[in-house]
Chains A and B, each alone.
Chain A
Amino acid sequence: MNRFSYLKAGNIGEAVSALASDPAAQIIAGGTNLVDLMKYNVTKPSLVVDINGLPLRGIETLDDGGFRIGALVSNSQIAYNKEIEEHCPMLASAILAGASPQLRNAATTGGNLLQRTRCYYFYDPSTPCNKREPGSGCSAIGGVNRIHAILGASDSCIATHPSDMCVALAALDAVVEVQGPDGARDIAFADFHRLPGDAPERDNTLASGEMVTAVRVPANGFGENHTYLKLRDRLSYAFALVSVAAGIEIEDGTIRRVSVAMGGVAHKPWRNQQAEQALVGQPVDGANFEAFAGALLSGAKGQGHNDFKIPLARKTVLRALAQAVAGTPQIQAEKAIR
């Protein structure tokens, strides 16, 4: 780990001005991803700004029935919050599908959004990686790329975003509250993470000096018909090969509202709202879901080792929609495909 200086921020303004004045500064909250990256010398901050003392630890119920989750709320606190379990259970389910209990106890909401890719080459400073070292090349293209993106990738990067929580937040149309040198602003979840394009070093659309202060989850979070289905190499404590967060509202056999986000397939949670709109007003049936899965995966491109993800993702979308319609039990231990 490199040597760095340390600042314990006394308020948000202090954290933001420290970030803005030093492009090599990094915020630390739970530390579960940052400390790991620092140990591999992937991230070498000059200054670590500790925000653990800031009052960002609350889960508030908003007047409209939605929630505001502070940036320092731990993953476990969200997953086991009674109100969240009742009103947006998909979020709790997604969080419990990720990491381990120890990590979920330490990891924060803001940190989950800002975690870096798990691409093997990004983690290995002895190999070229455009995300870690812009302009150095991408080792995953033509390399070992079983876990990599099938959608929205570019010639410079085929990394995926590793979060489970973010897949549910994308499906729930969450809003990210940020604060920076120019004040506070909201970023729609779909606009928070970005595709790699020719600047894969940028995972998200935060401006220089901006930090995440909270995430708002709107009301009507698919309390009845939802699922978070995650397929991975083992049933627990592994990153997704493909995951799907699906919520659906059905009235007399007709789809009233539907939202589906995929994880493990792109540089950000993947949705197609046009295809979702096309399902509204249609009957709940397999042919409609098949067409939807086709639209969601349109443009999918394998890189060799990950070609299997394309049919896998299609089947995962279909299975997730079937689970959501059926209101399948959401306990993680019951999701084994036997």
Chain B
Amino acid sequence: MLQNHAPTISSLHPVSLIINGEKREIEVAPWTSLLDLLRGPLSLTGTKKGCDHGQCGACTVLIDGERMNSCLKLAITLDGAEITTIEGLGKPGSLSAMQQAFVDHDAFQCGYCTPGQICSAVGLLKEGHAHSREEIRELMSGNLCRCGAYVNIADAIEDVMAQQAKEPQA
């Protein structure tokens, strides 16, 4: 069966992605995950590889504005998509509100899960389904923190949620 498709099996496929606002024309093998594409050829190593199986959330990025596990996305299936990684949210000196809140609330220890936590939290706020601390906790359950910074992570997100309630553009 394999030989029927042999001409394409080793070939790279062109994919067009908008990554952190910049249009990129890239060639990918069909089996390259978005996570491996970001961390390898694109050198965007802010996005972390934890379990590589969609269980830990460390690789969370925003795809067309929605948080997803980049380890479970084949890059080739994302042609035309807009990707936002932690690097696209803010930079040292001009942190986004969520990044700043994580700093202010000491919402990490080792920091490995933090980019995924922050991208997930930004997605959560955009979705608008969390209205209480309990709901924040439930809707952040896809991001594990082995250091156990959960209390401060929830504090940081609650803080930004409160800021946004006062000023919708925050």
A333 touches B137 (CB 8 A): yes
Closest to B139 in A: A101
Closest to A104 in B: B142
Q: A33-58 CB contact bits vs B (8 Å, 1 = yes)?
A: 00110110000001110101000000
- A6, A235, A236: the one within 8 Å of B76 (CB): A6
| B129 interfacial contact with A, CB 8 Å | yes
Report Cα–Cα, A99/B17, bound state, in Å.
Answer: 27
Contact for B30 among A48, A76, A102, CB less than 8 A:
A48
Whether A101 and B77, one on each chain, are in contact in the complex, defined by CB atoms closer than 8 angstroms, is no
Determine whether the beta carbon of B77 is less than 8 Å from that of A100: no
Give every chain A residue within 8 A of B52 (Cβ-Cβ).
39
**Which single member of B31, B54, B77, B141 contacts A236 (CB below 8 Å)?**
B141
Question: Chain B, 66-84, contact with A by CB distance < 8 Å: what is the 0/1 string?
Answer: 1111011110110100000
Are the C-beta atoms of A22 and B4 separated by less than 8 Å?
Answer: yes
Interfacial chain A residues near B106, Cβ < 8 Å: none
- Contact between A28 and B141, CB atoms less than 8 A apart: no
Q: Give the B interface residue count (CB, 8 A).
A: 44
Among B73, B132, B138, point to the contact of A106 (Cβ < 8 A).
Answer: B73
B6 in contact with A5 (CB, 8 Å): yes
Known contacts: A102-B69, A236-B138. The answer to whether A5 contacts B8 by CB under 8 A is yes
A118 CB → nearest B CB, Å: 11
Q: Closest CB of chain B to A104's CB: distance in Å?
A: 9
Tell whether A106 pairs with B72 under 8 Å between CB atoms, given A100-B142, A333-B134.
Answer: yes
Does the CB pair A80–B129 fall under 8 Å?
A: yes
Q: Smallest distance from the beta carbon of B13 to chain A beta carbons, Å?
A: 6
Picked from A31, A236, A334, the residue with its CB within 8 Å of the CB of B73 is: A31
Bound complex: CA A47 to CA B1 (Å): 9
Interface of A is mostly: mixed
> Contact residue range for chain A?
35 or more
Contacts of A6 in B (CB 8 A): 8, 13, 30, 76
A308 within 8 A of B: no
Task: Type the 1/0 row for B109-130, where 1 means its CB is closer than 8 Å to any CB of A.
Answer: 0000000000010011001010
Cα of A46 to Cα of B4 in the assembled complex, Å: 10
Q: Given contacts A28-B77, A35-B72, A333-B137, is CB(A237)–CB(B6) below 8 Å?
A: no
Tell me whether A46 and B5 are in contact (CB under 8 A).
yes
Q: Which of A16-36 contact B (CB under 8 A)?
A: 21-25, 28, 31-32, 35-36
B33 sits at the interface (CB 8 A): yes
A52–B68 CB distance below 8 A: no
Q: Which residues of A contact B142 (CB under 8 A)?
A: 99-103, 237
B76 to chain A, nearest CB (A): 6
CA gap between A4 and B8 in the complex, in Å: 9
Instruction: Please indicate which of the listed interface residues A35, A103, A237 has the most CB atoms of chain B within 10 Å of its own CB.
Output: A35
B-chain residues with CB within 8 Å of residue A46 when the two chains form the complex: 1-2, 5
Q: Is A105 an interface residue (CB 8 A)?
A: yes
Task: Judge whether B10 and A3 touch: CB under 8 Å.
Answer: yes
Task: Pick from A6, A8, A23, A47 the residue with the most CB of B within 10 Å.
Answer: A6
Nearest-neighbor residue (CB-CB) of B30 within chain A: A6
Q: Which 9 A-B pairs have the closest CB atoms?
A: A100-B142, A5-B5, A236-B141, A6-B30, A333-B134, A237-B141, A105-B66, A5-B8, A106-B68
Q: Assuming A22-B4, A35-B74, A106-B68, what are 15 further A-B pairs, CB within 8 angstroms?
A: A2-B31, A24-B1, A28-B77, A31-B74, A35-B72, A36-B72, A39-B53, A46-B1, A48-B30, A99-B142, A100-B57, A101-B67, A102-B123, A237-B141, A331-B135
Q: What are 25 A-B contacts defined by CB distance under 8 Å? A: A21-B4, A22-B1, A31-B72, A31-B77, A35-B33, A36-B53, A39-B53, A46-B5, A47-B5, A50-B76, A52-B77, A100-B57, A100-B141, A101-B123, A101-B127, A102-B54, A102-B60, A102-B68, A103-B68, A106-B72, A235-B138, A236-B137, A236-B141, A237-B141, A333-B135
